[in-house]
Amino acid sequence: MANFFKRRMSWVNTRMGFFLLTIGLFWVKTYIAYQTEFTLGAKGSVQQFLLLINPLPAALLVFGIALYFRGRLAYWLMMIINVLESTWIFANILYYREFSDFLSFGIMKGSSDVGNNLGKSLAQITHVYDFFVYVDIIVLIILLVTHVIRIDARPFKRRYAFSITVLSFGLMFAEFGMANADRSGLLTRTFDNNYIVKYLGLNEYAAFNAYQTQKESATRASANASDMKSVLKYLKQNRVSPNVSYYGKEKGKNVFVIHLESFQQFLIDYKVNGKEVTPNLNKFYHNQNTLSFDNFYNQVAQGKTSDAEMMLENSLFGLPQGSAMTTYGTQNTFQAAPAILSQQAGYTTAAFHGDVPSFWNRDNTYKSWGYQYFFSSSYYTEKSGYSVGYGLKDKIFFKQSAKYIEQLPQPFYAKLITLTNHYPYELDKKNTDFPATKTGDKTVDPYVQTAHYLDQAFGEFMTYLKKAGLYKNSMIVAYGDHYGISNNHRPAIAQLLGKSKVTNFDLAQFQKVPFMIHAAGLKGGINHTYGGEIDVLPTLLDLLGVKNTDTIQFGQDLLAKNRNQTVAFRNGNFISPTYAKIGGTVYDTRTGKALSLTTAQKKTVDKMQNHVTTELSLSDRVIYGDLLRFYTPKDFTKVDKSSFTYKYKPAMEKLAEAEKKEKTSALVKNKGKETTYKTDAPELK
């Protein structure tokens, strides 16, 4: 038997054999960690396949370094590399257990700021079985020391070592190609660390994260306090005074910001077969106490939702590439809506979202923005059929959010991010009771169906707010974050709009999204001013009567007189009540006709272009250089990220404590009785 074993296993006594054994074991344990310690959500055969093979290419590359060395050294190097690699897995297992996210170099570097967010001590979160990541190393060392495996001291041909390196790169490229085909923009748009690990692996994630952190540190290091001068000068020239008939009118009210996913303005009052797609939102839009804006544009780029969030709550633009939240959200200094409202007006601040917290790096960015609570996937009951696409279906999401909303001390600022009306607009039959459009474009046609579902969810939530007594004392803001139908669907868009053809100007107009502010007693109506997402924060702060005369915000109050109505798109195009410049062509906004400009017109357009280019680049400078660290508005204290935790238990304890102390939550006001939430969600019947 022993002899048989020896004969069968003799291959491990060669250097290559030992190398392959080491890699094989490493591969297996990484995959076990993927499956048992992380929630990577690999769906479908391509993702499953990539998850299975992704530890291999990087392991060949990194362990392969040892093959360039002689004799014993090669063996010990393999072991050292293995220890380092396994420690990286180990550290991520622990970090993930606390934060459902992977360690980033930014976090490790800035550990004074964010690190103490490790709510519990390491000992408390470490489990004995976590050490399984070292088991293979121990076994291999024992086998070597006891000479069960013999060290092969013969020189190893460089050529072979080099072939392994080349092979590893080849595999990595193939892996990246497959990954990018399945999820385009994986590394350029950088959605979520979980995605990078799922598609490419833990090592590739580490390399990418190191690169990003390095890039971020470099721009930060090259910036200094004097860079703020041009920003301040620009803002001084562009500050407008608030509209006195609105300033402070909503002081002290709760604020709901309802993020209507992928919701475009054209849906308002839109009908299919004579039926309104969004009857509840239409009613809200036309309500006499709702201020609705019908020339309000989304200004997002690749960062999509995260760009919208960045603009809405900071009045800073998203970046020309990638997502500012993922790249700069953890380390940068911000002076965002939640921090301003809690510091200046005593608001409780909370974000709600039925997806994992790591998406768009919300888990870290929200801390930088001063969110006290972030209710994400782990706070919501998940059963089969409750989710579609990225997360919880809107009706279930709103319903389950209610119990947390009721516990928030008032006044509060609550942002609810919906999800169901998201590309590819899939929804089960049970939830679909609206006819699809008939353009014949498969991605476009179901859009109205999920939009209708979102509208119903919104309607149910409004009914609930009335019942809970929150409707009257809240300012309810609803907005669409970006287009749902991209410009790649021109023929379908033309059909939806009842046109024979759409021009680039039409497509620019198609970027309108709703922006509505409702409050009891608010002087409503449809306002035609030209504006966009960058303008939301100053508008809200003025309505709430919260001072913002020295904040770094690039937008202007939409209600202010004499405001600049040139709306910047992220690519430098723009639209205004007079001219629109789209891809080098200037259009007359009133007629939509392309213009050949007179000298006088050209001067005006150049001035507008100059304004747009300046504001975009100054805003970028603020983010790239982390300039807000050099500037603090009066009455504002730098956010202490370490004071927040979004873990379920401590958050619930904090809520309970606040409720006892402040006695201002809706639940307390309703004498401890939860308000019943009515929904027709079939999953809950």
- Residue 259 binds which entry of Mn ion, ligand GP9, none, with Cβ cut-offs from 5 to 8 Å by kind? none
Q: Give min distance, CB of 262 to ligand GP9, in A.
A: 6
Question: Considering beta carbons, is residue 390 or 425 the nearer one to ligand GP9?
Answer: 390
How big is the site for Mn ion, counted in residues (CB under 5 A)?
3
660 contacts: CB under 8 Å, gap ≥ 6: none
- State the angle between helix axes of 15-37 and 135-145 in degrees (0 to 180), rounded to the nearest 10: 160
Q: Give min distance, CB of 355 to ligand GP9, in A.
A: 4
Q: Does 259 appear as a known binding residue? A: no
What's the distance, CA 272 to chain centroid?
A: 32
Q: Does 482 appear as a known binding residue? A: yes
Question: Per CB under 5 A, does 298 bind Mn ion?
Answer: no
- Cβ(252)–Cβ(345) below 8 Å: yes
Question: Considering beta carbons, is residue 357 or 625 the nearer one to ligand GP9?
Answer: 357
Q: Give min distance, CB of 286 to ligand GP9, in A.
A: 27
* Distance between CA atoms of residues 240 and 238, nearest Å: 6
Q: Give min distance, CB of 325 to ligand GP9, in A.
A: 10
- Residue 355 binds which entry of ligand GP9, Mn ion, none, with Cβ cut-offs from 5 to 8 Å by kind? ligand GP9
Position 330: which residue type?
T
Q: Which residue is nearest to Mn ion (CB)?
A: 305
Question: Considering beta carbons, is residue 295 or 305 the nearer one to Mn ion?
Answer: 305
When binding is defined by CB under 5 A, the residue of 299, 305, 327, 589 that contacts Mn ion is: 305
Question: Considering beta carbons, is residue 86 or 376 the nearer one to ligand GP9?
Answer: 376
Q: How many CB atoms lie within 10 A of CB 126?
A: 15
Q: What is the DSSP string of 620-658?
A: HHHHHTTGGGG---TT-----GGG----HHHHHHHHHHH
Question: Per CB under 5 A, does 533 bind Mn ion?
Answer: no
* Distance between CA atoms of residues 644 and 330, nearest Å: 13
- Cβ(434)–Cβ(276) below 8 Å: no
Residues 245-264 that bind Mn ion (CB under 5 A): none
Q: Does 261 appear as a known binding residue? A: yes
Structure token digits, residue 643: 């004071």
Q: Give min distance, CB of 262 to Mn ion, in A.
A: 6
Question: Per CB under 5 A, does 481 bind Mn ion?
Answer: yes
* Distance between CA atoms of residues 588 and 579, nearest Å: 5
- Looking up tokens 């807000």 gives 628
Q: Give min distance, CB of 449 to Mn ion, in A.
A: 17
- Give the dihedral of Cα atoms 292, 297, 300, 305; nearest 10 deg: 20
Question: Considering beta carbons, is residue 18 or 390 the nearer one to ligand GP9?
Answer: 390
* Burial class of 549 by CB neighbour count within 10 A (0 to 12, 13 to 18, 19+): exposed
Residues found near ligand GP9 in the complex (CB under 6 A): 304-305, 355, 359, 390, 417, 422
Question: Considering beta carbons, is residue 422 or 512 the nearer one to ligand GP9?
Answer: 422
Active-site annotation, residues: 305
What's the distance, CA 30 to chain centroid?
A: 27
- Residue 516 binds which entry of ligand GP9, Mn ion, none, with Cβ cut-offs from 5 to 8 Å by kind? none
* Distance between CA atoms of residues 245 and 243, nearest Å: 6
- Residue 509 binds which entry of ligand GP9, Mn ion, none, with Cβ cut-offs from 5 to 8 Å by kind? none
Q: Which residues bind Mn ion (CB under 5 A)?
A: 304-305, 481
Q: Please give the annotated binding residues for Mn(2+), written as ranges.
A: 261, 305, 481-482
List binding-site positions: 261, 305, 422, 481-482
